[in-house]
Structure 1
Amino acid sequence: MEIWRVVSSNDNYLVSNLGKIRHKKKKKALVPVYDKDGYQTVKLYRNGKYKTVKVHRIVAFEFCKGYDETKEVDHINRIRNDNRAINLQWLTHAQNNARKAEYGK
C-alpha cells in the first residue's frame, strides 16, 4: 500500500514510501533525473529557488528510522534507483563503505 507524507524540508511536496514525489497542490508527479553517480534527483521549488535533492534521502528521512546527521542512506539491494522505503536504511559511513566493498558498489 502506498503511503504519502509531507516532505519535512519543503511542505509544498509529498513523498511516498514507494519512492515517488509529487507537488502537494498540483498533485503532479515529479520526474526524477539521474546524477553523475546514478542516483535519482528532483528539483524542489521554494521561496523563488530550486533545490536539487536526492530522492532516496527524502524517502529515508520521512519513512526510515535511525536518522542522525552523521549517517548515510544505503540501498539494501544495491539498486540505486530502487527508492522504496523498505529498501533503504541509515548506516554510518564506515558501515556503508563496508557494504560497498562487500558487494563491489
Structure 2
Amino acid sequence: MENEIWKDIPGYEGKYQASTLGRIKSLNRYITRPHPKTKEVTRYLVRERILKNVVGSHGYYVVGLGQHNNQKTHRLVALTFLGTCPVNQEVRHLNGVRTDNRIENLKYGTRSDNHIDRYEYGSRMGSLNSQDVIEIRSLLLNGKTPTSVIAEKFGVTCGAIAHIRQGRTFQWLT
C-alpha cells in the first residue's frame, strides 16, 4: 500500500490539504458565523474530514471548499504537489482516467498534449482510439467495406469516417 502524504493547498493553508492519492480534506479549525435568526455571532469548530468527491458535468471529480466554491480535485492536487500551472498548460491525466487523481497520474502539459491523450485512450466524447483509426484506415484503403458498415462497426457516424478518410481528424496519427 502506498504512503499517503498530505500537504496544504496553496491559497488554503490551514484550511484544506491535498494528498498524493488524490484526496482532499478539511482541517480542524474554528469559524465564526452569525446565527440565522438572532444574528448573534457564534464560534463553531469544523472538524477534520475527508471531503466527498462528486463527479462534475465534465467527468472530473469536484470538491466544495466552502460555500459556492467548487474546485476540480485534479487541479488542487497538481497545484499542491506540482506547483503553479505554467502559462498555456493544463493538468493531464496520464492514464486517461479522469477520476484517477493520484499524483503519479497527473502532469502539466499543453492542450495539444491533452487532446492527444484523449484520442490515445478514447476518453473524448467519441469512442475511437488510435488502434481503431488505424483499422478504419486499412478498411478504407482496401475499398471493399462501405463507409456505413465501418461507421456502424465502430459506433460513429459516416461523417466521422469521412473526416478520417479526408485527413480532417487524426492527422497526427501516422
Deviation at residue 66 of structure 1 after TM alignment: 7.6
Moved over 3 A (4+): none
C-alpha distance in 2, partners of 1:53/1:69? 19
Q: Are 1:42 and 1:52, in contact at CA under 8 Å, matched by a contact in 2?
A: yes
Q: Answer whether contact 2:94 2:117 (CA < 8 A) is retained.
A: no
- The alignment yields a C-alpha RMSD, in angstroms, of 1.5
Residues 36-84 of structure 1 deviation map (CA, whole Å, 9 limit, x = unaligned): 1110000102xxx431100000001111268314211111111111100
Contact kept? 2:60, 2:98, Cα under 8 Å: yes
1:16 — aligned with what?
A: 19
Question: Unaligned regions of 5+ residues in structure 1, if any?
Answer: none
In structure 2, runs of 5+ residues without a counterpart are 29-46, 124-174
SS of the equivalent of 2:88 reads coil
Shift in Å, 1:94: 1.5
Q: Structure 1 residue 10: deviation in Å?
A: 1.7
TM-score by length of 2: 0.55
Q: With a CA cutoff of 8 Å and minimum separation of 6, indicate the structure with the bigger relative contact order.
A: 1
Q: What are the superposed Cα offsets for residues 3-34 of structure 1, whole Å, 9 maximum, x if unpaired?
A: 10011122210110101111111221100111
Q: Which amino acid aligns with 2:107?
A: Q
Q: State how many pairs are aligned.
A: 102
Structure 2 residue corresponding to 1:32, chosen from 53, 67, 72: 53
Percentage of matched positions with identical amino acids? 34
Q: Is the 8 A contact 2:95 2:121 kept in 1?
A: no
TM-score, length-scaled by structure 1:
0.88
1:91 corresponds to 2:109:
yes
2:140 alignment partner in structure 1: none
Letter in 1 for 2:54: V
The question of whether the paired residues in 2 share the 8 Å contact of 1:66 and 1:90 is answered with no
